[in-house]
């Protein structure tokens, strides 16, 4: 098996991952919709209406906490890629017989640290303009550091300076292009927010299972070259040899899926960490291919890939702990956010979800009623495995004991990266009202997207009435636009509407206004 075959296998796995991920999302969305449409004979009773007394809110500085979390998480990802990138840079430099140059090793390490940008962007839910600005700043800053390192190295060894040293600036960009293009391609393919929840586990399964035809063809050729193996090849045929390989490889792929799902549910890593590990894997493998194919150091390439895969998770866990990310998340009151919306506006709901809910996860957990309009944002490794094994019904609340069990098991602890999880509740027609009321009673703040509510579309009147009857209006944020029928809100809240925070959001970039209002409501 040569490096070219492995490279083609990896490229095919990336392309097939995108197609399979889209198919999985479509089928998962259909499964959730089908489960929601199933009705039961008896609806769960809604708890008696009792208005919660206003409290003083969470006394901690939530805005300051979010900012501190942003800095620490960003620093942890930069530290992780720096520590893991340095040995990879030294190995690449040694394999290419470039001679040992500290400046060149630093330049390669800085190139690999650029991979921290998408990891930071996913963890902090950065908007597109900030990602572009961060990429430009990181590239320019790292290029200058590379130049300074070259100058220092020349000064130490006593070589004179000349204007030619400034050629290190374009050299850095050329190195980055050569080193990062393959990993960047995979990052672009998996970057859409709708794919992030399913790409890592889909890629892990396809990467393993896709080895079956590759290994089968090599095994067939090897057997056909021997006197002992030729009769077996004739007897089994190409299909038989393929099945001989595909069955155990498929079993290994299944074990890999189960391991990922169980580790995620055990909170050994977060969704952002899982995606980041997948991106780092692509970068490491692309560097390994260069060492394997161009420089013919096969053992070094294999050791590098295996070592980096094992090292990345350990270093990232250490960096998060060392910088106090989890400690900062835990040593404070943890407010819970309930996210409600008018169903049926998928794109608009997703844009609001991407900013408000993702930012809130740096502060506390989020709860919501699941529906097809946000399945791409809420699906995780455990949900993926349940759908794959036909156990999607386990996600649905169908009885009062089931609801009580789900409420008792709400995930209120931070992940290893300091971010909190989303607790989604899949409900039948007969259970959603009782479920949403119970979530209201456990929420420190509630945001409801009422854009689209009109006299002809009044699907969220029940939630508005329950919020008015049960929660202090100071803890509510309603997202509106110019088309929202304010008379419906007035009818639900009465005079209390004046104390509810109404935030007008017409464009996706204005969603931060809603987040700021939530911070004020809780604080």
pLDDT at 34: 83
Tell me: the pLDDT tens digits for 106-117?
999 999 999 999
138 versus 2: the higher-pLDDT residue is: 138
Q: Please, which residues have CB within 8 angstroms of residue 452's CB and are 6 or more apart in sequence?
A: 342, 344, 345, 348, 483, 484
Mean pLDDT of 274-298: 88
Burial class (CB in 10 A: 0-12, 13-18, 19+), 331: exposed
Residue by residue, what is the 3-state secondary structure of 448-473?
Answer: EECCCCECCECCCHHHHHHHHHHCCH
In this prediction the pTM is 0.88
pLDDT at 295 over 50: yes
pLDDT of residue 430: 86
Q: Render pLDDT for 63-91 as a digit per residue (tens, 0 to 9).
A: 889 999 999 999 999 999 999 999 999 99
pLDDT number for residue 210: 65
* Mean pLDDT over each residue of the chain, to the nearest integer: 84
pLDDT at 238 > cutoff 60:
no
If one counts every other C-beta atom within 10 angstroms of the C-beta of residue 430, the result is: 17
pLDDT in tens, 483-509: 888 888 888 888 888 889 999 888 777
Does position 324 have pLDDT exceeding 70, yes or no? Answer: yes
Contacts of residue 95, Cβ cutoff 8 Å, sequence gap at least 6:
291, 295, 297, 300, 301
**Strand duo 422-427 + 366-369: pairing:** parallel
Beta carbons of 295 and 146 less than 8 angstroms apart: no
Q: Is the pLDDT of residue 458 over 70?
A: no
The percentage of the chain sitting over the pLDDT mark of 70, rounded to a whole number, equals 85
Give me the sign of the Cα torsion angle 480, 486, 492, 498.
positive
Long-range contacts from 331-334, C-beta under 8 angstroms, 24+ separation: 332/60, 332/65, 333/58, 333/59, 333/60, 334/363, 334/364, 334/365, 334/412, 334/420
- Look at residue 1 in the predicted model and tell me its pLDDT: 47
Q: Measured between alpha carbons, how far is 75 from 80 in angstroms, rounded to an integer? A: 8
Q: Which residues, 6 or more positions from 431, have their beta carbon under 8 angstroms from its beta carbon?
A: 40, 43, 44, 396, 397, 398, 399, 403
Structural domains in the chain plus CATH codes: 24-60+333-522 (3.40.50), 62-326 (no CATH)
């Amino acid at each position: 098996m040569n490096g070219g075959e492995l490279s083609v296998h990896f490229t095919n796995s990336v392309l097939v991952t995108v197609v399979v991920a889209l198919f999985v999302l479509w089928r998962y969305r259909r499964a959730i919709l089908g489960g929601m449409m199933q009705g039961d004979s008896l609806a769960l009773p809604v708890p008696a209406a009792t208005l919660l007394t206003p409290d003083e809110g969470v006394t901690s500085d939530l805005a300051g906490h979010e900012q501190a979390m942003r800095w620490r998480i960003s620093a942890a990802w930069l530290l992780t890629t720096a520590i893991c990138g340095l040995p990879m840079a030294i190995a690449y430099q040694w394999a290419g017989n470039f001679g040992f140059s500290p400046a060149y090793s630093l330049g390669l390490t800085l190139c690999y640290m650029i991979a921290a940008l998408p990891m930071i962007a996913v963890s902090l839910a950065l908007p597109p303009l900030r990602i572009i600005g961060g990429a430009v700043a990181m590239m320019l800053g790292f290029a200058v550091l590379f130049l300074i390192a070259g100058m220092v190295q020349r000064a130490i060894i006593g070589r004179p300076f000349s204007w030619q040293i400034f050629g290190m600036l374009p050299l850095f960009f050329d190195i980055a292009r050569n080193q990062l293009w393959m990993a960047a391609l995979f990052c672009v393919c998996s970057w859409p927010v709708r794919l992030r929840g399913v790409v890592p586990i889909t890629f892990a399964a396809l990467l393993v299972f896709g080895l079956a035809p590759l290994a089968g063809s090599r095994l067939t050729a090897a057997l056909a070259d021997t006197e002992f193996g030729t009769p077996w090849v004739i007897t089994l045929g190409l299909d038989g040899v393929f099945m001989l390989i595909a069955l155990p490889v498929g079993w290994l792929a299944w074990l890999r899926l189960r391991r990922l799902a169980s580790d995620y549910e055990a909170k050994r890593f977060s969704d952002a960490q899982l995606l980041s590990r997948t991106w780092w894997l692509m970068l490491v493998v692309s560097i390994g291919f260069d060492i394997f194919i161009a420089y013919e150091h096969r053992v070094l390439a294999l050791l590098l890939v295996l070592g980096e895969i094992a090292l990345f998770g350990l270093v990232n866990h250490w960096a998060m702990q060392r910088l106090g990310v989890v400690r900062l998340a835990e040593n404070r009151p943890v407010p819970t956010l309930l996210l409600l919306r008018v169903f049926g506006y998928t794109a608009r709901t997703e844009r609001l979800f991407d900013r408000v809910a993702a930012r809130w996860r740096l502060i506390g957990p989020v709860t919501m009623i699941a529906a097809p309009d946000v399945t791409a944002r809420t699906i995780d490794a455990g949900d993926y495995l349940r759908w794959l094994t036909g156990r999607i019904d386990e996600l649905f609340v169908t009885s009062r004991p089931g609801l009580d069990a789900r409420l008792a098991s709400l995930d209120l602890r931070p992940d290893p990266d300091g971010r909190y999880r989303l607790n989604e509740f899949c409900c039948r027609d007969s259970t959603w009202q009782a479920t949403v009321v119970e979530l209201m009673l456990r929420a420190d703040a509630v945001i409801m997207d009422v854009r689209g509510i009109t006299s002809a579309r009044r699907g969220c009147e029940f939630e508005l009435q329950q919020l008015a009857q049960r929660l202090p209006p100071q803890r509510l944020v309603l997202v509106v636009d110019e088309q929202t029928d304010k008379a419906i809100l007035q009818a639900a809240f009465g005079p209390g509407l004046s104390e509810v925070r109404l935030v007008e959001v017409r464009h996706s970039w204005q969603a931060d206004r809603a987040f700021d209002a939530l911070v004020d409501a809780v604080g």
